[in-house]
């Protein structure tokens, strides 16, 4: 369940209160369209609207990608770490959009992605995403992922909000006599 706590690291005047919000997996799933096995954030531990978000991902041997990446030496694919940055940013972005059920957030660019250390089962990703530029439909964000306070991945991503295609109504089944 969500909770709000004052942010002691705020640069604001003492009489102003900056609220940091958290989200559990149910709230994340209400914002993002991703589902297992492609939902790559488990919890939001800090969120400053329109500025910053910190999420976590618990990496386990049960992840489907470990079956083939790599047998005998399981390493989380770097592209999935960049996707985790985008999903955390998406939770931040979509939280600000009132008609988000009719919208979808998509990548428009990935810049300067670097993978510094392997991520293996048992690691907990600490995903911090900071807004670099926010426009009405697009956001540029810088993301850094750490494990045990060591950087494992960093990247700059741009995302855009686009209309979501309406769900097609299921066609009625026609029974035939054979």
Digit-coded pLDDT (tens) for 120-170:
999 999 999 999 999 987 899 999 999 999 999 999 999 999 998 877 766
In the block, tokens 């686009």 appear at 162
**DSSP structural state of residue 177:** -
pTM: 0.83
Which amino acids are annotated catalytic? Answer: 69
Digit-coded pLDDT (tens) for 49-75:
999 999 999 999 999 999 999 999 999
CA angle 43, 103, 158 (to 5 degrees): 70
Tell me how crowded residue 55 is: count the other CB atoms within 10 A of its CB.
29
Looking at 3.10.129.10, 3.30.450.20, 3.30.300.30, 1.10.3720.10, the CATH number of the domain 4-163 comes to 3.10.129.10
pLDDT value at residue 16: 46
CA gap 140, 142 in Å, rounded: 7
Digit-coded pLDDT (tens) for 87-133:
999 999 999 888 888 888 999 999 999 999 999 999 999 999 999 99
CA gap 65, 61 in Å, rounded: 9
Alpha carbons within 13 A on the beta-carbon side of 166 = 3
User: Hey, where are the domains in the chain?
Assistant: 4-163
């Amino acid at each position: 369940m969500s909770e709000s706590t004052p942010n002691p690291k705020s640069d604001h005047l003492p009489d102003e209160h900056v609220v940091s919000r958290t989200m559990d997996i149910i709230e994340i799933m209400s914002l993002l369209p991703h589902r297992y096995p492609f939902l790559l954030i488990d919890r939001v531990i800090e969120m400053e609207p329109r500025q910053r978000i910190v999420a976590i991902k618990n990496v386990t041997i049960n992840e489907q990608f470990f079956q083939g990446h790599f047998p005998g030496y399981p390493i989380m694919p770097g592209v999935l770490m960049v996707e985790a940055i985008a999903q955390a940013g998406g939770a931040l972005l979509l939280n600000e959009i009132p008609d988000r059920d009719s919208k979808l957030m998509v990548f428009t660019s990935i810049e300067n992605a670097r993978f510094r250390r392997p991520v293996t089962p048992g690691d907990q990703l600490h995903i911090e995403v900071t807004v670099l530029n926010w426009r009405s439909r697009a956001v540029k964000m810088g993301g850094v992922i750490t494990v045990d306070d060591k950087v494992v991945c960093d990247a700059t991503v741009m995302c855009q909000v686009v209309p979501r295609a309406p769900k097609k109504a299921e066609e009625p089944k026609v029974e035939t006599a054979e």
